[in-house]
Structure 1
């Protein structure tokens, strides 16, 4: 009577649907082993769907389950083999809690994957519950569910890239749902062929419903979106436009500093050298003050900015136009006004920003599209920052697929 009651309690503690505990034993140094049986008396033939109760043979083996406290738990399960009355072929029953040819339960795999997301493979494996090979198998199983998944209700898409190995030229393209800030896909490369193949795999039903796509200033992205998403408006990310402008401003800063340093070397009089040194002092350590948003500067940075403007009329003018275009993006919420203001900026800033001017003209329609709904790749940059953290902590992964799965599982 006591034994029957204990078995009932163990079955409730195990908490697996249609599974009962029929025996248990405790092995020192190993853990708890629970002998289980299915409560179902039949199974469905995977070939024809016929219900069969004709038992062909038993197949018992041991798998790992979630531990109970500090005690490891193992299940001795019986994956019975039935014979179909219609097909006359034997088949193994499906067990909801464990995949075929796996040495662990599905719920243990889910727990291990969650641990890996916040740590790395080796540290999780060091706990002794599962091996590194089992963890990689769990990730591979999880990848099957994510690899062929298609986004639903996707309206605004962001396309960007992340360096897989910094400085090595290996980049991965990433797709982001801008409305949910969810990572949709990470690709092992950023070529047009790879990106096109991944998008086509979603199907034209998904692509046709996309209304906006935010991209950086790469023509390849634009060509792909135009071809595959006929209903989507391409939006050039405003932050990449500002990056282009800041890059040209910084190039001029470096140029002026080099010129002044050369003048100091060639100066023949002490007066000239002293004058050039004052200019050089104003240019030194001025990068942040020039490139950062003026509203975010502290007192010392503001002082440095004023110093730069005093010694360099060109940098003063370029900083003015840089701030002007930033305010256009920040304070214009009307397409018509955006066209007018940006057009005026182009005519006045051309002298100081010739390269940025040409870029904006080439991408004018896509840049102006920002003023319709204020769509940017801000969410993409947030996701990219998280991907970089995952990359740094994911040194236990042996291949890109495991890294991709780990990234995608963070947004499941």
Structure 2
């Protein structure tokens, strides 16, 4: 009778004997042991007709139409001749679980597609219950790491929470696999990664990063044979902030008596920062006109283009020559923001020159950071950093070689 009422519901070793509804959306089904099937030991699988004791447990099963289904299950402990007293084997209910395997698998499918908040509204399960289910799934499904094959690393940071709280991420540059994520961006914060890497530190040949002194020093301490490669994107972004913007503001202030010229300089920020190939004909014409009448901006713009060419040298010797030539020109330019930037950049010169041998960059991690932002927005934030980091690793499992 209940089989007809609840088609497709089957619980191995048990049969439904009655049901009742609670309110308008909850159904409780009472199960009883199937008299035609003896219980089996959970450890060895042997049939055990002798029952030691029975405890009733209410567990959640998958919804049936508009009903939330609960089961009253008589969970037995059996006397096994080999193992002694122990729990009976239930293929559809894990030990101490409060939901069936069918419900757990259903929740896992939903969690692959939807944020926890939405799955909680759909299923009626608590946020922490769903987090535990998804966290266990992520731990099972993460691909194994072969650290012996890791030669090139990319390190970067991303905003973890509001209020200048950051986390660091390390990726295998060749396989695009996130190896490690940890809170903080100091030397102490990234040190656990190198401790975890252990003897495999000796295989690391190069590490790409931005101008993060903490990461640089930690790489030198644990991987002294590795070359540090500074990323083009971060250096050029810093050049734009500290040199182009400063020179532009200084030139605008010097043109207070010439309002049209001052307005043109003030509105030229994106013309100066964009790559020439990204300008349309009108923008290119405006840029050429601006540079023709303002020598400091022209020098700054040309020095930006020459600085970028350091990352495209055909070999280390050419890169070193380009750096020396650029550095001397910057000092001789007479433009103070440019001179100051060059002096501050000099300690990082070897990391720029190394890019000629190891053409690495953190652009791939910029894509990772964008994906991380999407993951955070979908979940409306994460209360468990370890769970969040598992989500990141799962999103970037790497590619096969």
* TM-score of the two chains, using structure 1 as the length reference: 0.77
- Closer, same or farther in 2 for the Cα pair 1:410/1:303, shift >3 Å? same
Deviation at 1:313, TM superposition (A): 0.6
Q: What is the alpha-carbon distance in structure 2 between the residues aligned to residue 245 and residue 394 of structure 1?
A: 35
| 2:324 corresponds to 1:343 | yes
Residue by residue over 1:264-320, the C-alpha shift from the partner in whole angstroms, topping out at 9 and shown as x without a partner, is: 3xxxxxxxx3xx223212202211110111111122322331232133211111111
Mapping 1:92-107, distance limit 5 Å: 92=87, 99-105=94-100
> Residue 243 of structure 1 aligns with which residue?
237
> Residue 122 of structure 1 aligns with which residue?
117
Q: What is the alpha-carbon distance in structure 2 between the residues aligned to residue 77 and residue 177 of structure 1?
A: 48
> Residue 219 of structure 2 aligns with which residue?
225
Deviation at 1:198, TM superposition (A): 3.7
Whether contact under 8 Å (2:320, 2:353) holds in the other structure is yes
Q: 1:64 aligns with which of 60, 65, 83?
A: 60
Deviation at 1:87, TM superposition (A): 7.7
Q: 2:358 aligns with which of 369, 373, 378?
A: 373
Mapping 1:318-337, distance limit 5 Å: 318-329=300-311, 331-337=312-318
Residue by residue over 1:319-361, the C-alpha shift from the partner in whole angstroms, topping out at 9 and shown as x without a partner, is: 11211232342x4343332222233222223335223323442
Q: What is the alpha-carbon distance in structure 1 between the residues aligned to residue 306 and residue 128 of structure 2?
A: 56
Q: What is the alpha-carbon distance in structure 2 between the residues aligned to residue 39 and residue 340 of structure 1?
A: 83
Q: What is the alpha-carbon distance in structure 1 between the residues aligned to residue 190 and residue 113 of structure 2?
A: 29
User: 5+ unaligned residues in a row in structure 2: which ranges?
Assistant: none
> Residue 191 of structure 2 aligns with which residue?
196
* TM-score of the two chains, using structure 2 as the length reference: 0.78
Residue by residue over 1:71-91, the C-alpha shift from the partner in whole angstroms, topping out at 9 and shown as x without a partner, is: 656566665545676786x44
Q: 2:347 aligns with which of 362, 365, 370?
A: 362
Whether contact under 8 Å (1:157, 1:178) holds in the other structure is yes
Q: What is the alpha-carbon distance in structure 2 between the residues aligned to residue 66 and residue 409 of structure 1?
A: 26
> Residue 43 of structure 2 aligns with which residue?
44
User: 5+ unaligned residues in a row in structure 1: which ranges?
Assistant: 265-272
Whether contact under 8 Å (1:120, 1:396) holds in the other structure is no
Q: 2:176 aligns with which of 153, 174, 181?
A: 181
Q: What is the alpha-carbon distance in structure 1 between the residues aligned to residue 382 and residue 262 of structure 2?
A: 49
Whether contact under 8 Å (2:156, 2:210) holds in the other structure is yes
Q: What is the alpha-carbon distance in structure 2 between the residues aligned to residue 371 and residue 34 of structure 1?
A: 72
Q: Which moved more, 1:136-145 or 1:188-197?
A: 136-145
- Closer, same or farther in 2 for the Cα pair 1:244/1:119, shift >3 Å? same
Whether contact under 8 Å (1:282, 1:311) holds in the other structure is no
Q: What is the alpha-carbon distance in structure 2 between the residues aligned to residue 212 and residue 169 of structure 1?
A: 29
Q: How many aligned positions are there? A: 383
Whether contact under 8 Å (2:41, 2:87) holds in the other structure is no
Deviation at 1:196, TM superposition (A): 0.7
Q: 1:288 aligns with which of 267, 270, 278?
A: 270
Q: What is the alpha-carbon distance in structure 1 between the residues aligned to residue 339 and residue 179 of structure 2?
A: 37
Deviation at 1:388, TM superposition (A): 1.4
Deviation at 1:208, TM superposition (A): 3.4
Whether contact under 8 Å (1:178, 1:380) holds in the other structure is no
Whether contact under 8 Å (1:24, 1:32) holds in the other structure is no
Q: What is the alpha-carbon distance in structure 1 between the residues aligned to residue 289 and residue 295 of structure 2?
A: 11
Q: Which moved more, 1:78-87 or 1:229-238?
A: 78-87
> Residue 158 of structure 2 aligns with which residue?
162
User: SS of the residue aligned with 1:41?
Assistant: coil
| 2:368 corresponds to 1:383 | yes
Q: What is the alpha-carbon distance in structure 1 between the residues aligned to residue 38 and residue 357 of structure 2?
A: 60
User: SS of the residue aligned with 1:160?
Assistant: strand
Q: What is the alpha-carbon distance in structure 2 between the residues aligned to residue 303 and residue 77 of structure 1?
A: 79
| 2:107 corresponds to 1:112 | yes
